Structure 1
Amino acid sequence: MAQRGDLGGTFDPIHIGHLLAAEAAREGAGLDEVWLLPANVPPHKADGSRTDAEHRWRMVCEAAAGNPHLRASDLELRMGGVSYTIDTVLLLKERYPGTRFSFIIGGDMIAYLPKWHRIDEIVEHIRFIGLQRPGYPDPGSGLPETLRGAVTMVPMPAVDISSTGIREQRRQGRSARYQVPEAVYRYMEVNRLYEQDT
């Protein structure tokens, strides 16, 4: 059975930290492939404060190009509406019955799993791969037993890069080069994304 990881997010913009997370999860959990799924409307960002989906999608495609273990997927963008994990999980299971799915999340998100929409149903279908930063305690230790068994922890290098920080740097007229893949940087430059007057 194929082992696939799904790394979702707003990707506004996708950056080196996202790619390091995908690679850490792939190696640490023995995945065949990692799919990058830009969210249409993330539940925690439903106020509309995000870059147009087409730009975010194009940047993800640029970031995934050239890596045989990475694939860009517009599944959640095509689904429309708020991107709830349970809806994505059920659709993936229906379309790819011969694949075992894992959802890759940051270690800081693990403690919040009990609050996720329909989490008990989600863990019936997938496992989670939690990215653990060096020097931090195991964030899954406080989870209920039913959830703790659904989380596999893998080490993740410490990277202090964020999409929020990149957007702010661009607004201030500062370069974000080398924090994003070069192709993504060129895309942002050509389309003048996150600049003060955009």
Structure 2
Amino acid sequence: MNKIGILGGTFDPPHNGHLLIANEVLSALKLDKIWFIPNQDPPHKKKSCSITNEDRMEMLKRALNGNPVFDIQTIELERTGPSYTIDTIRMIREQYKDHQFYFIIGADMIEYLPKWKQIDELIALVQFVGVKRPSYSCLTEYPILYVDVPAFEVSSSMIRERLKDGKSVKYLMPDAVIEFIKERHLYGK
């Protein structure tokens, strides 16, 4: 049985924090692969209007290039409407019956779990993996595996702000992603 970690997000843009989390969870839980699943329409936050799905996909491809255990699944980009995790997990489990799935979330999402659509069914379908972050509580009634990840305080919103202000993002994201952002004049200056 293949053990697959799932890391969903807007990846607007993808950064080294995403890669660090994926690698640490892969190693700690001895998973076979990590699937990165870009959201179409995340119900809990507003997606940046200026960046197309095609640009997000290209940045993610460049970020993952050369790592054979990191893959992209476009299941959420292929359907319309909000990207609810329950819908995605149902579809994936139907398609990949011989896989065991681990859904990776940050501590900010652990606090938000009671508000997730059909959370009780979702908990029965997938094993949640929590990644701890400073200033967030990991207390929850839900069964979550925890993985310690070295602190690396970076976020897509912080990177977008730095790019808008003309500041450096070197070492916050892969060079190939930085080059693509420059080529396409994404996120401002």
TM-score by length of 1: 0.89
Structure 1 137/192 Cα, relative in aligned 2: closer, same or farther at 3 Å? closer
Q: Tell whether the 8 Å contact from 2:108 to 2:136 is kept in structure 1 after alignment.
A: no
CA distance in 2, matches of 1:139, 1:116: 16
Structure 1 117/137 Cα, relative in aligned 2: closer, same or farther at 3 Å? closer
Matches within 5 A, 1:131-170: 131-133=131-133, 139-140=138-139, 143-144=140-141, 147=142, 149=143, 151-170=144-163
CA distance in 2, matches of 1:137, 1:177: 27
Structure 1 138/194 Cα, relative in aligned 2: closer, same or farther at 3 Å? closer
Structure 1 47/3 Cα, relative in aligned 2: closer, same or farther at 3 Å? closer
Structure 1 104/47 Cα, relative in aligned 2: closer, same or farther at 3 Å? closer
Cα offsets for 1:115-139 (capped at 9, x unmatched): 1110011111101010124x77871
| Structure 1: 4+ residue segments shifted above 6 A | 135-138
Q: Tell whether the 8 Å contact from 1:12 to 1:50 is kept in structure 2 after alignment.
A: no
Q: CA deviation at 1:175?
A: 2.2
Which moved further from structure 2: 53-62 or 38-47?
38-47
Q: Which runs of 5+ in 2 are unaligned?
A: none
Q: CA deviation at 1:194?
A: 0.3
CA distance in 2, matches of 1:175, 1:137: 27
1:69 has 2:69 as partner: yes
**Partner in structure 2 of residue 98 of structure 1:** 98
Matched residues, number: 189
CA distance in 2, matches of 1:48, 1:41: 10
CA distance in 1, matches of 2:78, 2:169: 29
Q: Tell whether the 8 Å contact from 1:42 to 1:82 is kept in structure 2 after alignment.
A: yes
TM-score by length of 2: 0.93
Structure 1 9/47 Cα, relative in aligned 2: closer, same or farther at 3 Å? closer
The code of the aligned residue for 1:187 comes to F
Q: Percent identity?
A: 40
Q: What SS does structure 1 have at the residue aligned with 2:128? A: strand
Q: Which runs of 5+ in 1 are unaligned?
A: none
Q: Tell whether the 8 Å contact from 2:6 to 2:37 is kept in structure 1 after alignment.
A: yes
Q: CA deviation at 1:18?
A: 0.5
**Partner in structure 2 of residue 195 of structure 1:** 188
1:23 has 2:23 as partner: yes
RMSD, aligned CA: 1.7
Q: CA deviation at 1:8?
A: 0.4
